[in-house]
């Protein structure tokens, strides 16, 4: 499909009445919330503060007397005509606060803040990017991408909407050679879900940039706390905000972040037309969740490192992989044992998804869509913020009991 400018979708500004203008002047933050109002002060001090500070301060309403500290949940499907946002499919003030926050975290090291576009799920965000690929355009993607994205790419490939070229993203030479042929999009996920494979982002993204090839990095597993692909030259960073960003397993959301203003506009246009706009309530919860992201990642990462070390010493575990707050373990090809362990824990929750405050685990191949190259006995663990020794004891007891 052709790229369509979002601005084409918008009506020309209508003139407001004097009365309406007075209302706006008195309570500007309440009725009119142009995107730039949120986090405006912090944008100016972009370089001066640490990412941990931005996590708390970005995306707040301006500090005017009586203003709330937190961006309110603006529950409105439509807005009084004449402003930046007319209809909630285009976004809204609560969503704009989330976008400001995510953009600041991903671009903390860049000279100017990036822009983020929020979606109703990670898959909605992925689809917006894929929708910008011209019909039949070649897309280079990981052989081991997240199963939902992989399925969508296959579907588009099978129906001829894209030409799909799968590469092992941990093999830099293969990626570089794939990039040498003309392509419309380089899709990276690093680390991958669930195999935790990593691309050499500096090498492949700078090569893509040199060739004028648009690149996307799914940064869901690393989060902007552990990795910021815009620094390495990515055009777009993608998130399933359902996971660690929001961090409480209580919503579905996605986000795209880019420093390219035209691309951000195109992605907003995709969101408006495809209809994958999040609700104000979810955006509020996600913003609230991100306030503690640095602390949650720090804690989860420390615990995951401790568990990785102890699990590697377990005789019945044949392989341990580890990145950030994520682990995978294998049980010497014994998938039934893997299932028994998942069902035997009492603190770890046997559930899909990841990145919540609660630790969870699951055998990935229980999902029919999961790729055949993921070992049948592989259990993915997402480490939360519970006491590390409680998590270890629970896991150890489950291992001994099964």
C-beta closer to ligand PLP: residue 14 or 281 = 281
Handedness of CA 257, 262, 263, 268 (dihedral sign): positive
Given candidates 121, 170, 227, 402, which one binds ligand PLP under the rule CB under 6 A? 121
Contact 333, 381 (CB under 8 A): no
The one segment of 11-19, 39-47, 58-66, 142-150 that binds ligand PLP by CB under 6 A: 142-150
C-beta closer to ligand PLP: residue 268 or 364 = 364
130 binds ligand PLP, rule: CB under 6 A: no
Q: Which residues contact 313 (CB under 8 A, 6 or more apart)?
A: none
Given candidates 61, 254, 278, 300, which one binds ligand PLP under the rule CB under 6 A? 254
Nearest partner of 250 among 358, 387, 327, judged by Cα: 358
Residue 34's beta-bridge partner residues?
Answer: none
Radius of gyration (Cα) for the chain, nearest Å? 22
191 binds ligand PLP, rule: CB under 6 A: no
C-beta closer to ligand PLP: residue 94 or 240 = 240
> In the bound complex, which residue of the shown chain has the CB atom lying closest to ligand PLP?
122
C-beta closer to ligand PLP: residue 124 or 388 = 124
Give how many residues touch ligand PLP by CB under 6 A. 14
Output b/e per residue, 314-334; b: 16+ Cβ within 10 A. eeebeebbbbbbbbbbbbeeb
Compute the half-sphere exposure of residue 155: CA atoms within 13 Å on the CB side of its CA: 9
Given candidates 242, 279, 301, 303, which one binds ligand PLP under the rule CB under 6 A? 242
C-beta closer to ligand PLP: residue 244 or 329 = 244
C-beta closer to ligand PLP: residue 162 or 256 = 256
Contact 395, 314 (CB under 8 A): no
Handedness of CA 3, 5, 6, 8 (dihedral sign): negative
The one segment of 1-9, 105-113, 118-126, 156-164 that binds ligand PLP by CB under 6 A: 118-126
Contact 68, 38 (CB under 8 A): no
To ligand PLP, the closest distance from the beta carbon of 84 in angstroms equals 27
Given candidates 72, 82, 83, 148, which one binds ligand PLP under the rule CB under 6 A? 148
Given candidates 193, 215, 232, 246, which one binds ligand PLP under the rule CB under 6 A? 193
Given candidates 189, 282, 362, 377, which one binds ligand PLP under the rule CB under 6 A? 189
C-beta closer to ligand PLP: residue 242 or 359 = 242
To ligand PLP, the closest distance from the beta carbon of 2 in angstroms equals 25
To ligand PLP, the closest distance from the beta carbon of 214 in angstroms equals 18
The torsion of the CA quartet 345, 351, 357, 358, rounded to 10 degrees, works out to -20
- Does an H or E element contain 298, and which? helix 293-312
219 binds ligand PLP, rule: CB under 6 A: no
Compute the half-sphere exposure of residue 218: CA atoms within 13 Å on the CB side of its CA: 36
Positions 59 through 98 that interact with ligand PLP (CB under 6 A): none
Alpha helices in 191-247 (DSSP H): 201-210, 223-226
Beta-carbon count within 10 A of 269 CB: 23
Given candidates 74, 123, 128, 293, which one binds ligand PLP under the rule CB under 6 A? 123
146 binds ligand PLP, rule: CB under 6 A: yes
33 binds ligand PLP, rule: CB under 6 A: no
Query: How does DSSP assign 72-93, residue by residue?
Result: P----SB--TTSS-SBGGG--H
The structure tokens 């995510």 sit at: 102
Positions touching ligand PLP (CB under 6 A) are 121-123, 146, 148-149, 189, 193, 218, 220, 240, 242, 252, 254
């Amino acid at each position: 499909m052709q790229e369509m400018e979002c601005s084409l979708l918008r009506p020309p500004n209508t003139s407001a009445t004097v009365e309406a203008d007075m209302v706006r002047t008195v309570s500007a933050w309440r009725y009119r919330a142009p995107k730039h109002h949120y986090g405006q002060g912090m944008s100016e001090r972009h370089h001066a503060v640490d990412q941990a500070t931005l996590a708390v301060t970005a995306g707040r309403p301006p500090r005017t007397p009586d203003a709330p500290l937190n961006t309110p949940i603006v529950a409105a499907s439509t807005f009084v005509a004449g402003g930046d946002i007319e209809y909630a499919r285009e976004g809204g003030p609560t969503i704009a606060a989330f976008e400001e926050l995510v953009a600041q975290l991903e671009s903390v090291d860049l000279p100017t803040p990036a822009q983020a576009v929020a979606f109703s799920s990670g898959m909605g965000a992925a689809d917006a990017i894929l929708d910008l690929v011209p019909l039949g355009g070649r897309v280079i993607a990981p052989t081991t991408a997240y199963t939902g994205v992989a399925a969508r790419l296959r579907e588009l490939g099978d129906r001829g909407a894209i030409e799909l070229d799968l590469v092992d993203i941990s093999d830099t030479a293969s990626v570089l050679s794939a990039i040498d042929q003309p392509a419309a999009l380089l899709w990276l996920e690093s680390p991958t879900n669930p195999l935790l494979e990593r691309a050499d982002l500096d090498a492949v993204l700078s090569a893509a940039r040199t060739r004028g090839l648009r690149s996307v990095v799914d940064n869901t597993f690393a989060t902007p706390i552990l990795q910021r692909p815009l620094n390495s030259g990515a055009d777009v960073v993608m998130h399933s905000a359902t996971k660690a960003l929001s961090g409480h397993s209580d919503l579905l959301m996605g986000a795209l972040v880019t420093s390219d203003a035209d691309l951000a506009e195109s992605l907003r246009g995709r969101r408006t037309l495809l209809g994958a706009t999040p609700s104000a309530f979810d955006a509020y919860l996600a913003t609230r969740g991100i306030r503690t992201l640095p602390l949650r990642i720090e804690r989860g990462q420390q615990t995951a490192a401790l568990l990785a070390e102890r699990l590697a010493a377990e005789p019945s575990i044949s392989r341990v992989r580890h990145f950030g707050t994520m682990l995978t373990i294998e049980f010497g090809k014994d998938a039934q044992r893997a299932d028994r362990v998942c069902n035997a824990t009492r603190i770890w929750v046997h559930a899909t998804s990841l990145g919540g405050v609660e630790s969870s685990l699951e055998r990935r191949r229980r999902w029919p869509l999961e790729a055949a190259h993921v070992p049948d006995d592989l259990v993915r663990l997402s480490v939360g913020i519970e006491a590390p020794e409680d998590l270890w004891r629970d896991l150890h007891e489950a291992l001994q009991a099964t």
